[in-house]
């Protein structure tokens, strides 16, 4: 008996440990995001690549050296004559930039490096927003599943009692069957909701690189979160003139516009002549022994003045300006849309009474008792259960959407 008892305890402990949920707070999620997220790690490597590109653009072109050695001396007919009468010709050429042919490339690479820093901030903020909104959504989907659990537990208790009475002939089989179909529909809706919650858990595990398969639960203080959302809404409403110019998206587009302008200037410089300083040493040339010469090579921009590339670069500058205007408008509209969501749902949750959730729970238990006592009909019972479920799910959905919008506002605008 003792061995059996110990085995039962062991099995119970293993089952409880296997279903133990992993709690996740917003601060823990932020830490995991910074350390583990693959997209964020890749964005950091983009910054390193841009730093390498800037360093490379600062380097000047290497000199070109050419050596020619006479195979057979025509005077003494010696092969590869290494003596005093041997012939060797050495030429060296060093190109140099004029009119911004080098400087504009450096400035363009510097602007692209700043753009990569801004892109890193955008990626980090967008991923943080995605994680926070997914956590809020998961929290309220699990809350909605609990609503179904309460209703299913109550309906199953009624169904068991009605089946017993139906077998005795005290209750019509049609009423029992109606309650059974209601339980089935509730279980089906709950299963669909749990599948959506499972997809959110998988999304969070992928974003945060969390191993394992334990269920995730979100550590969220609902009352504090709603109070913070209300304060944030009032603060942002009082500052409607906030400009999005300081947001990383706008800084990114500004740096991209700057890079496009430097690219345009560099294309203009490519229409200028290419110049190089040259030097030559000829051991036994036609002029004399140990002949030294210096010169200058210049390309003549006669047929190609780089006009096509200049035209493309001008279009890129204009496109960058258009993208900046469009992004500024989109950010402003998104801010107002999130403010409207928070404001509307805050007003909705305050009506008709703050204690509506408790009142609905009491109504559910009262409906169960009244139906079991046959004081209300089956139609009234189903209607009360439907009203309870729809109202509770609507309130939880309102809280979810409101807090998701509040998280977007807080992460983007609350600096």
Q: For 336-351, how does the pLDDT look when each residue is reduced to its tens digit (9 = 90+)?
A: 999 999 999 998 888 7
Residue 145 banded pLDDT, cuts 50, 70, 90: very high
Q: CA 382 to CA 118: how far, in whole Å?
A: 56
DSSP classification of residue 26 = H
Tell me the pairing of strands 64-69 and 88-96: antiparallel
- The neighbouring-strand residues paired with 293 are 280
Mean pLDDT of all residues belonging to the chain: 86
Structure tokens given for 18: 């296997």
Other CB atoms within a 10 A radius of the CB of residue 359 amount to 12
Considering only 32-36, 71-75, 209-213, 335-339, which range has the smallest mean pLDDT? 71-75
pLDDT of residue 205: 93
Q: For 167-202, how does the pLDDT look when each residue is reduced to its tens digit (9 = 90+)?
A: 877 777 887 888 888 889 989 999 999 999 999 999
pLDDT of residue 352: 64
Tell me the pTM.
Answer: 0.82
Whether 5 shows a pLDDT value over 70: the answer reads no
Q: CA 21 to CA 365: how far, in whole Å?
A: 29
Q: CA 204 to CA 401: how far, in whole Å?
A: 18
Considering only 41-55, 335-349, 372-386, which range has the smallest mean pLDDT? 372-386
On the question of a cis peptide bond just before residue 352, with omega within 30 degrees of 0, the verdict is yes
């Amino acid at each position: 008996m003792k061995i059996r008892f110990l085995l039962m305890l062991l099995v119970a402990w293993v089952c409880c440990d296997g279903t133990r949920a992993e709690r996740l707070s917003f601060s823990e999620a932020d830490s995991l995001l910074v350390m583990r997220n693959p997209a964020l790690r890749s964005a950091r490597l983009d910054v390193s690549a841009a730093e390498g590109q800037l360093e490379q653009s600062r380097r000047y072109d290497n000199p070109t050296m050419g050596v020619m050695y006479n195979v057979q001396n025509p005077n003494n007919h010696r092969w590869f004559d290494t003596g005093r009468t041997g012939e060797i010709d050495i030429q060296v050429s060093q190109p140099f930039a004029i009119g911004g042919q080098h400087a504009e490339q450096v400035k363009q690479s510097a602007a692209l490096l700043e753009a990569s820093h801004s892109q890193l901030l955008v990626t980090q903020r967008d991923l943080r927003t995605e994680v926070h909104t997914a956590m809020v959504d998961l929290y309220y989907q699990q809350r909605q599943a609990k609503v179904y659990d309460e209703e299913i537990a109550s309906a199953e208790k009624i169904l068991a009692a009605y089946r017993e009475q139906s077998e005795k002939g005290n209750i019509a089989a049609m009423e029992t069957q109606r309650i059974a179909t209601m339980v089935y529909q509730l279980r089906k809706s709950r299963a669909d909701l749990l599948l959506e919650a499972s997809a959110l858990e998988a999304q969070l595990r992928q974003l945060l690189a969390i191993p394992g398969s334990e269920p995730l639960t979100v550590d969220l203080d609902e009352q504090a979160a709603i109070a913070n959302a209300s304060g944030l809404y009032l603060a942002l409403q009082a500052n409607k003139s906030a400009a999005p110019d300081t947001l990383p998206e706008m800084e990114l587009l500004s740096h991209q516009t700057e890079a496009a302008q430097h690219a345009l200037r560099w294309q203009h410089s490519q229409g200028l002549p290419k110049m190089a300083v040259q030097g030559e040493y000829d051991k036994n040339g036609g002029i004399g022994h140990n002949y030294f010469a210096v010169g200058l090579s210049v390309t003549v921009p006669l047929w190609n003045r780089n006009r096509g590339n200049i035209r493309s670069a001008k279009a890129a500058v204009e496109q960058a300006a258009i993208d900046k205007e469009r992004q500024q408008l989109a950010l402003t509209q998104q801010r107002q849309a999130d403010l409207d969501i928070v404001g509307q749902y805050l007003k909705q949750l305050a009506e008709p009474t703050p204690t509506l959730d408790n009142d609905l729970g009491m109504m559910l238990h009262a409906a169960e008792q009244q139906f079991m006592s046959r004081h209300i009909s089956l139609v009234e019972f189903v209607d009360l259960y439907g009203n309870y479920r729809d109202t509770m799910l609507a309130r939880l959905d309102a809280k979810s959407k409101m807090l998701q919008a509040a998280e977007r506002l807080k992460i983007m605008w609350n600096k």
